[in-house]
Homo-oligomer: A and B are copies of this chain.
Amino acid sequence: MVYSLTANETLTKLDFPVTLTFCRKIEVFCMVRVQLAELLQFTEACLTQAGASAEVAKAMAHSLVQGDLLGFRTHGVRRLPYNVKQLQAGRMKGSGEPQILRRRAAIETWDAESLSGLYVAPLAVQRAMSMARTAGTGTVVVKRCEHVASLAAYLQQATDQGLLITMMAATPAQASVAPHGARSPVFSPNPYGMGVPTRGAPILLDMSFSMTAAGKVRQAYDRNERLPWPAIVSGSGEITDNPADYIDGNGAILPLGGADLGYKGYGLCLMSEIFTLGLSNYGRLQGAHDGEMNTLYVQVTDPEAFGTRDDFLAVTDDLLNRCRKAAAIDPSEPVRIPGERALALAEEQQRTGVLLDELTWPRLQHLAKKLGMEIPTV
């Protein structure tokens, strides 16, 4: 929500009053809260109106909103207008099933034929889980699904059933991340997700193999901010924290490890694209002009196939306890378990409403107007 104040005016709509005294004009950007059920309903309705079947729209809405719940705001309902546009333009299929191209005891290859990744990813996780239960591991590689948004949104489907999951995604038409030692990009901003069941809350990891994610560079650019650390190599080879060097210039995002250890992030980027684009036979030779079309790699592992459930959980919980008890560099910031903050945020937002920021809310308002839909109350 954006409020405009002029001199001496008092804004009373916030939790605390704001009066403008020292300057002429200010804009106050505030997050708005929308009740979860309302946001889901709105998202689903927009997708249905744009041409998705009821089943597809429901799954897509769930995947997007789950991203917001866990705090991945660059990959939540901010991407709803994009999905509506793709459906309306016929570039994304609104109904149907992915085609199974290959099948073995522990693997399947699918062609999503431009169905949304938001719809196909939960199906792939389900299938990988089922294979893992019998073969020990189950792997599904899905090519040509529209953008999957945040991998974190899909992990609990497996961890809730006591299963380990890893996920990767790549976009053959995108080049954002440079190989180590280069100043021009080759890799798409490949995310890596992992979910681990424990006796308590699951471990949820969703990260990129680069110094930052492309969505965060775009966000810093839109907000006219610098990045929190040098994550960009400019077109002329300088290491910089200026998002414009990437968005406007010919620069690239650095691989994880930066100037010294970037060969590690580079190696992990190669790994990601080989297991996604390579295995699915859908690389830049095939998909260089396919916009945000993804290949998705899902692998589920059943700890009970390898040993006992109790011992797996005991070893994992012991490891997490050692992390929690490690001496903190800053005593006011104890070591956190990946996913801890995301799950607390999800719990809070489920109760009090989903937070939408100043880059998301106006886009939803605009979308509602265009589609003639009623916008959720805030």
The interface on chain A, measured as residues whose beta carbon lies within 8 A of the other chain's beta carbons, has a size of 86
Which of A47-55, A78-86, A317-325 sits within the interface?
Answer: A317-325
Which of A4-12, A23-31, A278-286, A368-376 sits within the interface?
Answer: A278-286
Task: Chain B residues near A326: list those with CB within 8 A.
Answer: 178-179, 182-186
Which of A229, A277, A305 is packed against the most chain B CB atoms within 10 Å? A305
- Beyond A104-B136, A106-B105, A306-B141, whether A323 also contacts B186 by CB under 8 A is yes
CA gap between A157 and B26 in the complex, in Å: 65
Closest to A338 in B: B267
CA gap between A182 and B261 in the complex, in Å: 21
Task: Chain B residues near A260: list those with CB within 8 A.
Answer: 228-229
A136 touches B106 (CB 8 A): yes
- Beyond A134-B105, A196-B274, A203-B270, whether A281 also contacts B184 by CB under 8 A is no
B335 touches A307 (CB 8 A): no
9 of the cross-chain contacts (CB-CB < 8 Å) are A105-B105, A180-B335, A181-B334, A184-B327, A228-B260, A237-B330, A267-B338, A284-B318, A285-B318
Partner-B contacts on A (CB < 8 A): 101-102, 104-107, 109, 134-137, 139, 141, 164, 166, 175, 178-186, 194, 196, 203, 205, 207, 209, 211, 228-229, 233, 237, 256-258, 260-261, 263-264, 266-267, 270-271, 273-275, 277-286, 299, 301, 303, 305-308, 311-312, 314-316, 318-319, 322-323, 326-330, 333-336, 338
